[in-house]
């Protein structure tokens, strides 16, 4: 089977999945009475500000922790062992255009060049 045919097959499966999820949601919505929907809305409204506050606190604490870990220069585990702030060295990057220009003058520069394996992502257009 060709790649375009396989992509068409994948598209069909993704559309089938979407249709099943819509059908499932429609059936779930059909059993929800207006009273239940109103109660769910009340529960969401009650918890929304609480969740927003917790998220704000989480972001603030992460903003405090991250620079401390960078300063420490190593990963740090929480006392209870459930969280790990992972330290990752900064990535090294090179200006490819300049290096390719240097390869013309210094051919040995090409020995340091590594080309990774190609990869594929599938996107809906």
Structure confidence by residue, pLDDT tens digits, 85-103:
999 999 888 888 998 898 8
Report the share of the chain in percent with pLDDT over 70: 100
Whether residues 64 and 99 fall in one domain: yes
Whether residues 42 and 73 fall in one domain: yes
Overall domain count for the chain: 2
Which of 27, 26, 8 has the alpha carbon at shortest distance from 16?
Answer: 8
Instruction: Using the predicted structure, report yes or no on whether residue 14 has a pLDDT greater than 90.
Output: yes
pTM: 0.64
Residue 13's domain comprises 1-31
């Amino acid at each position: 089977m060709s790649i375009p045919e396989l992509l068409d097959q994948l598209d069909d499966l993704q559309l089938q999945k979407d249709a099943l999820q819509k059908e499932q949601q429609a059936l779930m919505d059909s059993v929800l009475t207006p009273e239940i929907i109103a109660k769910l809305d009340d529960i969401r409204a009650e918890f929304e500000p609480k969740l927003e506050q917790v998220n704000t606190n989480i972001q603030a604490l992460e903003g405090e922790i991250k620079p401390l870990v960078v300063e420490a220069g190593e990963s740090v585990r929480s006392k209870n062992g459930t969280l790990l702030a992972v330290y990752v060295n900064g990535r090294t990057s090179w200006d490819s255009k300049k290096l390719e220009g240097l390869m013309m003058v210094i051919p040995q520069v090409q020995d340091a060049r590594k080309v990774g394996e190609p990869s594929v992502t599938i996107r809906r257009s």
